Amino acid sequence: MSQVETSQPEARTKTFGNLIDNREVMSEQTFSSRNSSELSDVLGLFPEATEEQVREACRVAQGAFKGWSKTPAPVRGELIGGVGRALEREKEALSRLATREMGKTLKEARGDVQEAIDTCHFFQSEGRRLYGQTVPSEMPNKELLTYRRPLGVVGIVTAGNFPVAVPAWKLIPALLTGNTVVWKPSEDAPACAYALVKLMHEAGLPAGVLNLVFGGGKGAAGEHLISMMDEGLLNKFAFTGSTAVGREIGAIAGRNLLHPTLELGGKNPLVVMRDADLDNAVGGALWASFGTGGQRCTSAGNIIVDAPVYDDFKARFLEATKTIKIGDPNKFGDVLYGPFINERFFTRWLEHYDWGREDGATLLYGGGRVTPEAKPTGFVGDPEASFYGWPTVWEGVTKDMRQFQTEVFGPTINLVKVDGIGEAIEAANAVAYGLSSAIYTNNRLWAHRFKEEIQAGMTSINNSTTGAEAHMPFGGVKGSGNGTRESGIWVIENYTYWQGVNDDVSGTLQLAQMDTAYIEPQAEVDVSDLFA
Ligand code: UN1
């Protein structure tokens, strides 16, 4: 969690710099990164990069582009393999740092780091592919070829909920394909970002290829980096965060004719049909709703339950919700979720209680902030050490309600009753987002219809809305993004452009479409005449 420094920090608190041209560059203003579960624990002080420092980082990345883009792709791939090995070596330390800094459980933090390792493994060998095509020409003695070329300097801004995996989804393919980078990580996870970049530099990235600038978003380093598109210093932008900010980035990128990667919000539906294995569905729904305290972009937003099993599902789901263990994941290994990543997310989440009451939904369980006086039975530790939220369940939620439509990014879920697969799909599609989705059913036709008709970039059948594997296309439709995909082979499209090459060795001017020597057909053959 980040905090603007007001009091004098303890003398032993270390101050870190931006990493520009592989050198530590300090800024006058700093902010602190704090343990999300215990706000008195400071991890370090990080710089608020100035506009001039961000500009300098972009210029440095521009300068490093020529050398890096000319480095053979298999050599770049081997370096990425080295990053993967460094991450494997430091997996435990980095996972513990992520748990301390942003508050996810250690099991999840290990998954976060593993996703980055998987990404390195995938792209290590992609350095030996990055295939282009040889294409037949319509002319003799002429060859057609296609090449993937890097775009140039990539500006990257990421969120704090996946401090290692989601940056790696962008950094690794961007670098592998020969681009250079300026990255502004979330102010909620600067320590993880610093450690990640140090490991990437350790693997041998030449100076200036990957630059790290710290600071806030609005009016700070994030906005400065975005504005570098207008200064012509960036050739690509990649962003994970809110739909509102994504739209602004899209507009600025658009007027500069750049195609940004935008991974934005979600209000992901999880459907439970009448024939579902209810134990499996309850387990999946519980994890999708409350895992990471609901602070994944793939967390479930609405659980859409088929009428015949509604009461049964609701009873089991509530029973399971009441026993969830919550608390400081640094101290208690078996909690399902920890604190809010920051106070801002907590405050925004609290608002939805007013929406629920005003819009006429029914609160089945949960009550805002966990306090010493009011805590769920499964809460362990000191609730006042940070911002912890009750697992919250609503019912009677309908499509017109704000909490049905809006991403609340916290441990809250809505139960929505429907009748049959048609109504279930209609409800699932009735939001302005389309990131992830899930259905629990053993009816193959229903699963097939859901898969085909759901408006979402990702769909799970009999599994949670979360948990995309590192080599599958990640991204959404509608308000969840602009159609770009991260991960696997698909992401390469977003960090390269195609160059088509005509190589004419004929020694004469051969004009395509005009000089092409097509073969003239002979006289027409009438088959019935042949056998008359
Ligand atoms: C995110 O919340 O921004 O599919 C990413 C998942 C994870 C990634 C989530 N692999 O839940």
pLDDT digits (tens, 9 = 90+) for 205-246: 999 999 999 999 999 999 999 999 999 999 999 999 999 999
447: CA distance to ligand 1 center in Å?
A: 23
Active site residues: 263, 297
Structure tokens at 364: 């089945």
Average pLDDT, the chain: 97
Note if the pTM is more than 0.85: yes
User: What pLDDT score does 213 carry?
Assistant: 98
Q: Express each pLDDT in 146-200 by its tens digit.
A: 999 999 999 999 999 999 999 999 999 999 999 999 999 999 999 999 999 999 9
User: What pLDDT score does 10 carry?
Assistant: 53
Alpha carbon distance 474, 134 (integer Å): 29
- DSSP collapsed to 3 states, 141-195: CEEEEEEEEECCEEEEECCCCCCCHHHHHHHHHHHHCCCEEEEECCCCCHHHHHH
73: CA distance to ligand 1 center in Å?
A: 28
User: What pLDDT score does 4 carry?
Assistant: 64
DSSP H or E run through 4: strand 2-4
Structure tokens at 276: 């579902």
Residue 61 confidence class, pLDDT cut points 50, 70, 90: very high
Q: Can you say whether the dihedral through the CA atoms of 36, 42, 43, 44 is positive or negative? A: positive
Residue partners of 27: CB distance under 8 A and separation at least 6: 17, 18, 47, 48, 49, 50, 53, 214, 215
Average pLDDT of the segment spanning 297-318: 98
Average pLDDT of the segment spanning 294-312: 98
User: What pLDDT score does 17 carry?
Assistant: 98
238: CA distance to ligand 1 center in Å?
A: 16
Residue 6 clears pLDDT 90, i.e. is over it: no
Question: What is the CATH code of the structural domain delimited by 268-469?
Answer: 3.40.309.10
User: What pLDDT score does 5 carry?
Assistant: 59
User: What pLDDT score does 1 carry?
Assistant: 73
- Pocket mutation for ligand 1, best pick of 115, 158, 169, 298 (most atoms within 8 Å of C-beta): 298
- Pocket mutation for ligand 1, best pick of 105, 112, 118, 162 (most atoms within 8 Å of C-beta): 162
Q: Which percentage of the chain shows pLDDT scores above 70?
A: 98
* Domain residue extents for the chain: 20-264+486-495, 268-469
Are both 20-264+486-495 and 268-469 of the same fold?
no
397: CA distance to ligand 1 center in Å?
A: 26
Helix (H, G, I), strand (E, B) or coil at 46: strand
Amino acid at 266: G
**CB contact at 8 A, 328 and 385:** yes
DSSP H or E run through 123: helix 106-126
- Ligand 1 pocket by Cβ (under 6 Å): 115, 161-162, 166, 240, 296-298, 466-468
Structure tokens at 174: 């961007």
Q: Whose CA is nearest to atom 6 of ligand 1?
A: 467
Length of the chain: 532
Q: Which fold has domain 20-264+486-495?
A: Aldehyde Dehydrogenase; Chain A, domain 1 (3.40.605)
Residue 12 confidence class, pLDDT cut points 50, 70, 90: confident
Residue 42 clears pLDDT 60, i.e. is over it: yes
